[in-house]
A and B are shown apart, each in its own frame.
Chain A
Amino acid sequence: MVLSLDRLTKTYANKKAVDNLSIEMRPGVYGLVGGNGAGKTTLMRMISAILEPTSGEVLLDGKNVADMGADYRDMLGYLPQDFGYYPHYTAKDYLHYIAVLKGIPRREAVSKSKHLLDEVGLSDVANKKIRTFSGGMKQRLGIAQAILNDPQILILDEPTAGLDPKERVRFRNLISSFASNRIVLLSTHIVTDVEAIADRVLVMKNGRIVSQGSIRDLLEEVEGHVWEIAVEPSETDKWEAETTVANLRREDNRTILRIISEDPPSDSAVSVPATLEDLYLYHFPTERS
């Protein structure tokens, strides 16, 4: 199974949200990282066949997904960033509704919903109205609806937003166990999630993929550009204003700054091993993960 994006472009009023993007995805977990406005959501909506590209195609094994219609959507699971729900519905009723939309037979839908509610830790509140749920619980319900039909292609837009650390671990485990022989594309700002479960990472900026590869490949890209220096606490603001500071911590009376920079920021700077968070800041220096 190969999901190909062929010169995919989406333009809104002269602004290219996705710009001539081409990529091939095979089974595995893909982490899509990028700053706000990078075009991640637009890209995911086009892959989900909801949004019409201005030009270019999304192809599954060479067939245009727009032409495949219901056959493609039958293979698809999608969690939108703005996950919608009916507040007066119970979690069980909601999953039953989505199951019918996904063409799942009634009996299968009942057992599947029960199993998934258990998997995402919502079985105790299956009969409670969604309006009473916390943000994290709603997000878990969103994840459950996305995988209800055992999709071959799973698109998750910011799936870990609103999840506490424990819930994120549960989510990672769920996706890892689910992902074999499927294409999973997840976008997130939380790069540690990508680090934990993604086989490949796509870095998106201004509607284009600016970097892609395995985590190891990408870290090599930023290797030699991550530095630590010890400065006086009073100098911290100056360094933050002038460089991309990934982290700072106090050690004795000094402040240790972790700086992303092509060149050593000072003579005393020490090169340190890079993380995916550093990679993110390397590409998006104005954003902090």
Chain B
Amino acid sequence: MDLFCVEHKKLWSRGSVKISVLLCIIYIVVFGGILQYQWLTLGSSKDITGSHFDGYEYIRERQEYAKRYEPLLTVDTLSEMVSDYQRAGKNGDDKELKKTDWSVISSWLQTLYPELQRPVIYQLMVGYVDASALTDMYARRQTAIETYMDASGIKGREKDYLLSMNAKVDTPFSYTWTEGWRTVLASLIPDYGMIIAIVIIVSLAPLFSGEWRDGTGTMILSTKDGWRKDAVAKMGVGLAFTTEVFTLVAVPSIIVQMVFLGLSGWDTPIQCIKMLAIAPMNMAQAEIYEYLFLFIGITGFASVVMLISSFFKSDRLAMMGGFAILIAPMFIAGHLPYRAQLTLDLFPLVGNAGDIFRMYTLNVFGKIVWLPYLEIVTPLLFVMICIPISVMRWSRMQKA
């Protein structure tokens, strides 16, 4: 335990670690959180140049407005939403228009009623579609899912598997104002991984390699506990650090989210964000999944970075290695066959927390498994593989 404590203290005593963690928190909590809610994404639109700095009040107005359509999303409530939007448009009531869930409603209409979409009209579908034509909403959703599967080459067992998942989605959907949840689940959390990964590279790439830069490597290796015990302590510190950074990012982010959005709509199904999603999840479950994906992903990524660190005696090379495993998959993926791309997604932080909205599957030893399930398991395998190799790499006599 003493070794863990001194290694932990050493890691946090480095200026680069403190600065990178601080910048990460500022970026995610302030720029990726507070400013998104208050201004950039959920502030009321000013004109084409941007938004007002009024997110907090504007969110409340929209949540209040959406209550008139609660608790269930049916053909009737959908028609009502469309009619109310169009009436407000005719009356030139911009204030009323802004309160509507226009963006989400338009995406539903495009998905469920594509034949009603007029080409070459630069207007939101919610603005012109005939509300009385919006019939058989959930039957159309089922058809749209199957059409999408056919177009994507999803068939046979894979199709049955995904349809059986979809069968667990309760209909009709419960409804509350959705835009806030869409911002959180489809936009904010999926982007956190890249930022935290950079902090992990800056902080953990020098974990082993930095000892050679500082010239302390030989001295540590000449001490009683400087081999295996110290290497295990270092790996433990790396994983603890990852947990700490995650906590420092996730807790304030959730608090900010609670302050701006509240708990309202936690039990709304994620299909309100993306109509064709087949996962039987509500918003709270999806958020838990995304944070879990993030935590396990960065843990797996950290263990790979530490493994790279144990292979180099230059922390610059170790950092370059860390950035390479972060960036290279993006470049490689485009050149790979579809199944190989999905397999690559299993590497920590290569996949996306937003995959819960998609129909990706992989065949694992003959069993078809939804990709998001695999994406939160495989990084743990990386942890289990990387830790012993890193410890072995460090705790041995140097050959040169």
Query: What residues make up the interface of A, taking CB atoms closer than 8 Å to B?
Result: 12, 45, 48-52, 66, 69-70, 73-74, 76, 78, 80, 82-86, 88-89, 93, 96-98, 100-103, 106, 145, 149, 155
Given known pairs A49-B397, A88-B13, the reply for A73 and B219 (CB within 8 Å) is no
In this complex, which of B5, B215, B219, B227 has the most chain A Cβ atoms within 10 angstroms of its Cβ? Answer: B219
14 CB-based A-B contacts, threshold 8 Å: A45-B398, A48-B222, A50-B221, A50-B398, A73-B224, A76-B222, A80-B215, A80-B219, A83-B219, A85-B215, A89-B10, A89-B13, A101-B230, A155-B222
Find A102's partner among B216, B225, B227 (CB 8 Å cutoff).
B225
Judge if B14 is at the interface, Cβ distance under 8 Å.
yes
Q: Would you call B3 and A100 a contact (CB within 8 A)?
A: yes
Which 7 residue pairs spanning A and B have beta carbons closest together?
A: A84-B215, A84-B216, A52-B397, A78-B222, A101-B223, A74-B224, A103-B224
Cα A100 to Cα B2 in complex, Å, equals: 7
1/0 per residue, CB under 8 A from A, across B179-219: the answer is 00000000000000000000000000000000100111111
Given known pairs A50-B397, A84-B215, the reply for A97 and B10 (CB within 8 Å) is yes
Cα A166 to Cα B355 in complex, Å, equals: 69
Cα A78 to Cα B216 in complex, Å, equals: 11
Given known pairs A101-B220, A101-B226, the reply for A84 and B211 (CB within 8 Å) is yes
Cα A48 to Cα B399 in complex, Å, equals: 13
Q: Would you call A102 and B10 a contact (CB within 8 A)?
A: no
Cα A102 to Cα B227 in complex, Å, equals: 11
Cα A86 to Cα B14 in complex, Å, equals: 9
Judge if B263 is at the interface, Cβ distance under 8 Å.
no
Query: Which residues of chain A are within 8 angstroms of B230 by Cβ–Cβ distance?
Result: 101
Query: Which residues of chain A are within 8 angstroms of B211 by Cβ–Cβ distance?
Result: 84
Given known pairs A12-B400, A101-B226, A103-B224, the reply for A84 and B2 (CB within 8 Å) is no
Tell me how far the C-beta of A117 lies from the nearest C-beta in chain B, rounded to whole angstroms: 17
Query: Which residues of chain B are within 8 angstroms of A48 by Cβ–Cβ distance?
Result: 218, 222
Q: Would you call A106 and B397 a contact (CB within 8 A)?
A: no
Q: Would you call A88 and B14 a contact (CB within 8 A)?
A: yes
Query: Which residues of chain B are within 8 angstroms of A82 by Cβ–Cβ distance?
Result: 215, 218
Q: Would you call A145 and B398 a contact (CB within 8 A)?
A: no
Query: Which residues of chain B are within 8 angstroms of A155 by Cβ–Cβ distance?
Result: 222
Q: Which of B43-75 contact A (CB under 8 A)?
A: none
* 8 extra A-B contacts, CB within 8 A, seeds A50-B398, A80-B222, A100-B6: A45-B218, A48-B218, A48-B222, A52-B399, A76-B222, A84-B214, A98-B219, A145-B219
Query: Which residues of chain A are within 8 angstroms of B226 by Cβ–Cβ distance?
Result: 73, 101
Cα A96 to Cα B5 in complex, Å, equals: 11
Judge if B119 is at the interface, Cβ distance under 8 Å.
no
Query: Which residues of chain A are within 8 angstroms of B220 by Cβ–Cβ distance?
Result: 101
Query: Which residues of chain B are within 8 angstroms of A12 by Cβ–Cβ distance?
Result: 400
Query: Which residues of chain B are within 8 angstroms of A52 by Cβ–Cβ distance?
Result: 397-399
Judge if B15 is at the interface, Cβ distance under 8 Å.
yes
Query: Which residues of chain B are within 8 angstroms of A70 by Cβ–Cβ distance?
Result: 224-225, 227
Q: Which of B349-400 contact A (CB under 8 A)?
A: 397-400
Q: Would you call A86 and B215 a contact (CB within 8 A)?
A: no
Cα A80 to Cα B398 in complex, Å, equals: 14
Q: Would you call B224 and A84 a contact (CB within 8 A)?
A: no
Q: Would you call B222 and A49 a contact (CB within 8 A)?
A: yes
Cα A113 to Cα B225 in complex, Å, equals: 18
Q: Would you call A50 and B215 a contact (CB within 8 A)?
A: no
Find B13's partner among A49, A86, A98, A102 (CB 8 Å cutoff).
A86
Tell me how far the C-beta of A184 lies from the nearest C-beta in chain B, rounded to whole angstroms: 15
Tell me how far the C-beta of B345 lies from the nearest C-beta in chain A, rounded to whole angstroms: 39
Cα A106 to Cα B215 in complex, Å, equals: 25
Q: Would you call B222 and A50 a contact (CB within 8 A)?
A: yes
Q: Would you call B399 and A86 a contact (CB within 8 A)?
A: no
Residue ID in chain A nearest B396 by CB atoms: A52
Q: Would you call B3 and A101 a contact (CB within 8 A)?
A: yes
Q: Which of B77-95 contact A (CB under 8 A)?
A: none
In this complex, which of B3, B6, B222 has the most chain A Cβ atoms within 10 angstroms of its Cβ? Answer: B222
Find A96's partner among B6, B219, B221, B223 (CB 8 Å cutoff).
B6
Query: Which residues of chain A are within 8 angstroms of B224 by Cβ–Cβ distance?
Result: 70, 73-74, 101-103, 149
Query: Which residues of chain A are within 8 angstroms of B218 by Cβ–Cβ distance?
Result: 45, 48, 50, 78, 80, 82, 84
Cα A82 to Cα B213 in complex, Å, equals: 11
In this complex, which of B3, B219, B223, B398 has the most chain A Cβ atoms within 10 angstroms of its Cβ? Answer: B223
Q: Would you call A98 and B223 a contact (CB within 8 A)?
A: yes
Tell me how far the C-beta of B377 lies from the nearest C-beta in chain A, rounded to whole angstroms: 36
Residue ID in chain A nearest B216 by CB atoms: A84
Q: Which of B1-48 contact A (CB under 8 A)?
A: 2-3, 5-6, 9-10, 13-15
